[in-house]
């Protein structure tokens, strides 16, 4: 296992095994605050049944009261946990002033269920009913609204929660012995939330970001790690636009799973970059000198400098833009344990079989500009802005395709495909260091990424889009119809 750098390669989320407190008590000299234990709703006897009420309310975030939107009075929303094969019966109750719906980001289920075109009107409710496939991989996913034109606003205001599927990965002995924690990474902005200030045109174009950087709605959350044990840390980037570049200095950490489940073997990381929508699971051995170790969020430039220089200005002259700074996003705190010998990392996880060579390939060009057919200027894919009911791409069930995604813009546009998972084959002509199952991939300014996807199990209309949610709302989305 070589130490590797993952820039723009892999995605990342949150915590707590059943009955195990998510986070520990603060040490006396520790700056980190104690994180709330996220409520967890688990399936029982093969059924995950709940109602989820979306409502505007005041929530405490990083010791401030913010006017937010919450699921079941919580930001982030409760952790939903089920097993492969379970049934899900979820009633979404919309007590917002606007329409909404739900996207099950990370689940391989029919687009007729996971349907972004569905509208749950203000005051209405809708029951989602589906089975998680028996052969579904263990994943860290998340749920959030996907109602076009309101996605960025509703997610930025707090509507998002973790969705854990357990499967074969959870049965590996070394993984079973690990303690679990989960962090939902999200930024908030007191000036924007509750409509105290209107979003500036540049912030909308750029993608809204906030100055409060949180994990589970706390600044510098505490996560306990058992001395000589293993911590399985799930990370979810539930931010509307912010990209995190994470580092755990002076301490080893190993990637064990990406968006759609395990990789073949734990792989040591230097840094981990997570775009909005991406998830990662890390295995962290409690093998160092007991103490506190900070997970740092490093400054990350998603192309803003070039955009602002192009305007002949500086960041400080730009209203609504937050400069990216280095800070601790969470702190690992060693907890004494009875183990005298270090619990070993499993050598093997779950093989990631390569997809067969593609039957056909397509290009998707991401840019900013004018779509004369739709009569709009904004963010476009293949010169087209999103139009409801316009199918942009038709594919065949069980076909394998290579999609060359070409970013002709100077700013990052992380690309997300609904329903089916994919493998990243090449980035700027270079093969990826190892195979992984993904559903969201970082694409930096002027980069080209090739993904390989097999359209499996489900027919129907689904979407692909930029996961900077303001870009999606401004048209950077397309419809793919999967035909039998
Ligand atoms: Cu974008």
Going through 99-202 in order, the beta strands assigned E by DSSP cover 103-105, 125-131, 139-144, 161-166, 179-188
471 CA → ligand 1 middle, Å: 5
Domain 360-483 belongs to what architecture?
Sandwich (2.60)
243 CA → ligand 1 middle, Å: 12
73 CA → ligand 1 middle, Å: 30
Cα angle 224, 324, 180; round to 5:
20
pLDDT in tens, the chain (484 residues): 444 444 333 333 222 233 333 333 333 334 445 555 799 999 999 999 999 999 999 999 999 999 999 999 999 999 999 999 999 999 999 999 999 999 999 999 999 999 999 999 999 999 999 999 999 999 999 999 999 999 999 999 999 999 999 999 999 999 999 999 999 999 999 988 877 788 888 889 999 999 999 999 999 999 999 999 999 999 999 999 999 999 999 999 999 999 999 999 999 999 999 999 999 999 999 999 999 999 999 999 998 888 788 888 877 777 767 778 899 999 999 999 999 999 999 999 999 999 999 999 999 999 999 898 888 888 999 999 999 999 999 999 999 999 999 999 999 999 999 999 999 999 999 999 999 999 999 999 999 999 999 999 999 999 999 999 999 999 999 999 999 9
Is it true that 174-335 and 360-483 share their CATH fold? yes
384 CA → ligand 1 middle, Å: 14
476 CA → ligand 1 middle, Å: 7
472 CA → ligand 1 middle, Å: 7
169 three-state secondary structure:
helix
Whole-structure pTM value: 0.92
466 CA → ligand 1 middle, Å: 5
If phi > 0 it is left, if psi is from -120 to 50 it is alpha, else beta; for residue 23 that is beta
Residue whose C-alpha is closest to residue 15's, from 38, 32, 34: 38
Whether 150 contacts 98, CB under 8 Å: yes
What are the domain boundaries of the chain?
Answer: 40-167, 174-335, 360-483
Domain 40-167 belongs to what architecture?
Sandwich (2.60)
237 CA → ligand 1 middle, Å: 15
Q: Return d(Cα 118, Cα 476) in angstroms, integer.
A: 19
467 CA → ligand 1 middle, Å: 6
95 CA → ligand 1 middle, Å: 29
- Kindly indicate whether the domain formed by 174-335 is annotated with CATH number 2.60.40.420: yes
7 three-state secondary structure:
coil
Strand arrangement, sheet containing 47-61: 64-71, 47-61, 87-94, 125-131
């Amino acid at each position: 296992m070589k130490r590797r750098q993952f820039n723009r390669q892999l995605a990342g989320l949150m915590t707590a095994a059943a009955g195990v407190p998510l986070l520990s008590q603060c040490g006396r000299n520790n700056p980190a605050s104690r994180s709330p234990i996220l409520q967890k709703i688990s399936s029982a006897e093969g059924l995950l049944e709940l109602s989820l009420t979306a409502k505007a309310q005041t929530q405490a975030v990083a010791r401030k009261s913010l006017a937010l939107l919450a699921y079941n009075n919580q930001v982030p929303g409760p952790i939903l946990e089920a097993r492969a094969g379970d049934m899900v019966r979820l009633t979404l109750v919309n007590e917002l002033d606007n329409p909404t719906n739900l996207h099950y980001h990370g689940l391989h289920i029919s687009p007729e269920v996971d349907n972004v075109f569905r509208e749950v009107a203000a005051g209405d409710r809708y029951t989602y009913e589906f089975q998680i496939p028996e052969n579904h991989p263990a994943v860290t996913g998340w749920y959030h609204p996907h109602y076009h034109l309101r996605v960025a606003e509703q997610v930025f205001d707090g509507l998002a929660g973790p969705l854990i599927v357990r499967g074969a990965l959870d049965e590996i002995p070394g993984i079973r012995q690990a303690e679990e924690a989960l962090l939902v990474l999200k930024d908030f902005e007191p000036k924007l939330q509750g409509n105290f200030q209107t979003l500036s045109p540049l912030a909308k174009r750029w993608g809204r970001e906030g100055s409060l950087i949180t994990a589970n709605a706390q600044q510098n959350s505490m996560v306990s790690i058992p001395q000589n044990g293993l911590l399985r840390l799930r990370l979810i980037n539930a931010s509307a636009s912010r990209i995190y570049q994470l580092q755990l200095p002076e301490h080893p950490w190993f990637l064990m799973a990406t968006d759609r489940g395990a990789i073949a073997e734990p792989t040591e990381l230097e840094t981990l970059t997570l775009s909005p929508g991406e998830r990662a699971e890390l295995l962290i051995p409690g093998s160092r000198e007991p103490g506190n170790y900070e997970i740092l969020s490093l400054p990350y430039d998603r192309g803003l400098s070039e955009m602002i220089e192009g305007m002949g200005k500086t960041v400080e002259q730009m209203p609504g833009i937050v400069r990216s700074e280095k800070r601790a996003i969470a702190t690992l705190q060693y907890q004494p344990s009875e183990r005298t010998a270090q619990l070993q990392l499993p050598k093997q996880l779950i093989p990631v079989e390569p997809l067969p060579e593609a039957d056909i390939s397509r290009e998707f060009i991401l840019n900013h500009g004018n779509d004369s057919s739709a009569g709009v200027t904004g963010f476009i894919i293949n010169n087209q802005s999103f139009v409801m009911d316009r199918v942009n791409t038709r594919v065949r069930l069980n076909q394998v395709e290579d999609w060359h995604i070409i970013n002709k813009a100077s700013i990052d546009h992380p690309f997300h495909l609904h329903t089916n998972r994919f493998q990243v084959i090449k980035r700027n002509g270079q093969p990826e260091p190892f195979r992984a199952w993904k559903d969201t991939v970082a694409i930096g300014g002027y980069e080209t990424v090739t993904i390989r996807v097999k359209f499996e199990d489900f027919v129907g209309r689904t979407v692909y889009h930029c996961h900077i949610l303001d870009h999606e709302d401004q048209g950077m989305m397309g419809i793919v119809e999967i035909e039998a």
